Structure 1
Amino acid sequence: MEPGVVVYNYMDTFFCCMVEKDKWCEEMISEHMLVYLCSGEMELIAPEKKYHLKKGDAFFVKRNHLVRKIKQPSKSGEPFKGLFLQLKMPFLKRMLSEHQITVPLVSNPMTAKSTYVLLEKHPFLNGLFSSLEQYFGAQQYPSKELMESKLAEAVFTLLQLKPDLGQVLFDFAEPWKINLEEFMNKNYKCDLSVEEFAHYTGRSLSSFKKDFSQLFHLTPSRWIIKRRLEEAKCMMDKLGRKPADVYLEVGFKNLSHFSTAFKKEYGYPPSAIPVSAV
């Protein structure tokens, strides 16, 4: 765990995250998620716009999306604290069947195309997350049965506050194949396995490798390293950046691995590049 960051995880469904200073996060969300800010602030970076959220704000994140966010203390110095509730597909399928929920036939175009759906402040949301927050304060997790009742409460709250989310919550179709070249060039810095890249492009692993080879003429692992090194070299050559300043930014986990890969690719270490803007 990073210094200044505390994460509690219950059943891989309910998370509480506390951050003392600004933290950049980038991750793929494989299940729908409901998020609530107990304190601090958050920047959400979406393709369509950037959102700035504060204490008491709540939002919904659709599954199978890359989420980029900056968690940060408030202007007064109050640390970030957020609650994250995953709404997994098997649970939603049971909800739909057991409660015979009616899904609207007509969807809202804005809701359908947005990665994030901001929710208006409402006592129902405040009450739901206030009760969940107290479990962490008491250092006592809810039982599985109680957790399931809270998940159901979250679903019914979403449907009451924003009925058009029904078509999103209960859409169980697997993602269609998306443009592989566009996705990889946008997300090659992400810490994802080859299996995860395949999933998020709507492909089986074998289909992903076949499509990738035909498009890039390299294995996925080799192409990702090569692409990261090209980006790092550009940042150092043209912007005068130091190796220690770029390796994390382009997706390497440590400086030593970055330096070894760079020297293998270009024949000289990254430290040989002058640290000055051209």
Structure 2
Amino acid sequence: MVGPDKQKSPFSYSCYVARSREGEQFVPEHVFSYQLSGILTVNTGVKEYVFREGDFRFIKRNQLIKFNKQPAPDGVFEAVSIYFDQELLKQFSLEYGYNTDSGGNGKVDTVTELKKEALYKSFVDSLLPYLQGNQLINQQLQTLKLREALLILLQSQPSLARLLFDFQEPGKIDLEEFMNRNFHFNVQLKRFAYLTGRSLATFKRDFEHIFHISPSKWLLQRRLQEAHYLIREKGKAPGEVYLETGFEDLSHFSFAFKKQYGVPPSQVAG
């Protein structure tokens, strides 16, 4: 559904068999996706979305999300995603006369649930022989297919233009509100800095001015506090809580938890 920061190809075919997969991801570019089979759950930290077979979605760039990929009863999870980089979108906006100043920074949902359109389905079907067959799509064809996808999206949902052609980088925002909403995402400090419209040095300075503690120490304490609450008050197991609260692995979480509270998370009474 979402890929790494550097995309080798603007087209991605995900196929997982037999077991669910979960994780989190920074979404660096706008993504248009189609769910072929299975269920994808996306959590933005504010809202949860569930996509099933036949659903289409659009996820805007520069976002943090958590996801769960659940195979269908026959054991397969499949999704196709198309990524739109900024260079392509700038060229497209100039050629087709889209005003790049019309994007704005208004409040827009991270995820847009798209209505089912025959044109969307026809476009995805045209990609599947390449993606499922693991065939190389040459540069010229990639460009043509990306432009086709943009034209179809803009015809079906013109309001997406203000997202697609907004080329502004994240502006300086309320740091305290952002961190309290996104502390559970396991990303580097430089990513938090970028998303709050700051250099890393300015981020650290502003953070310590607000919280009176370093970002790393605050994140650890805040994540442990949330984990303790989820285990004790919500009855969740340590094995599901550590990922939910931003820890990389269970052993590191257990060590930090015991150091903070004096007992391992498995011994916290619910």
Q: TM class by shorter-chain length? A: 0.7 to 0.9
Question: Corresponding residue for 1:169?
Answer: 164
TM-score, structure 1 as length reference: 0.82
The answer as to 2:27 corresponding to 1:29 is yes
Distance 1:53 1:232, change over 3 A: closer
Moved over 6 A (4+): 7-10, 104-107
The residue that corresponds to 1:102 in the other structure is 98
Query: Deviation of residue 274 (structure 1)?
Result: 3.3
Alpha-carbon distance between aligned partners in 1 of 2:217 and 2:33, rounded to the nearest angstrom: 36
Greater shift in the superposed pair: 164-173 or 16-25: 16-25
C-alpha distance after superposition, 1:202-223 (max 9, x if no partner): 2221221111111112221221
* Residue aligning to 1:206: 201
Q: Unpaired segments of 5 or more residues in structure 2? A: none
2:267 counterpart (267, 271, 274): 274
d(CA) in 1 for partners of 2:257, 2:71? 36
Deviations 1:53-93 (A, max 9, x none): 3222211111122334332233x435220111111112111
In structure 2, distance between residues paired with 1:131 and 1:138: 12
The 8 Å contact of residues 30 and 65 in structure 1, kept in 2 or not, is answered as yes
Q: CA offsets per residue over residues 155-188 of structure 1, 9 Å max, x none?
A: 1111111122112111111222222112212211
CA distance in 2, matches of 1:167, 1:242: 42
Pairing partner for 1:85 from 78, 82, 86: 82
Question: Is the contact made by 1:22 and 1:70 (CA closer than 8 Å) also made in structure 2?
Answer: yes
8 Å Cα contact 2:184-2:223 kept in structure 1? yes
Figure out how many residues of one structure are paired with residues of the other and give that number: 267
Instruction: State the Cα distance separating 1:240 from its structure 2 match.
Output: 5.6
| Matched residue SS, 1:38 | strand
Query: Contact conserved, 2:21 with 2:68, CA < 8 A, in 1?
Result: yes
State the shift of 1:197 in Å. Answer: 0.6
Output the CA distance in 2 between the equivalents of 1:34 and 1:261: 39
* Partner Cα separation in structure 1 for residue 53 and residue 164 of structure 2: 25
Q: Aligned pair 1:159/2:175, yes or no?
A: no
- Percent identical residues: 36
Distance 1:50 1:249, change over 3 A: closer
TM-fit CA distance, 1:194: 0.6
Alpha carbons of structure 1 residues 252 and 146: separation in structure 2 relative to 1, 3 Å: same
Are 1:56 and 2:54 counterparts?
yes
Please state how far the C-alpha of 1:123 moved relative to its aligned partner: 2.9
Task: Please give the secondary structure, in 2, of the residue aligned with 1:202.
Answer: coil
Whether the aligned pair in 2 keeps the contact of 1:177 and 1:201 (CA below 8 Å) is yes
The amino acid across from 1:65 in the alignment is Q
| Secondary structure of residue in 2 paired with 1:247 | helix
Q: In the aligned structure 1, how far is the partner of 2:45 from the partner of 2:237? A: 29
Look up the SS of the partner of 2:180 in the other structure.
helix
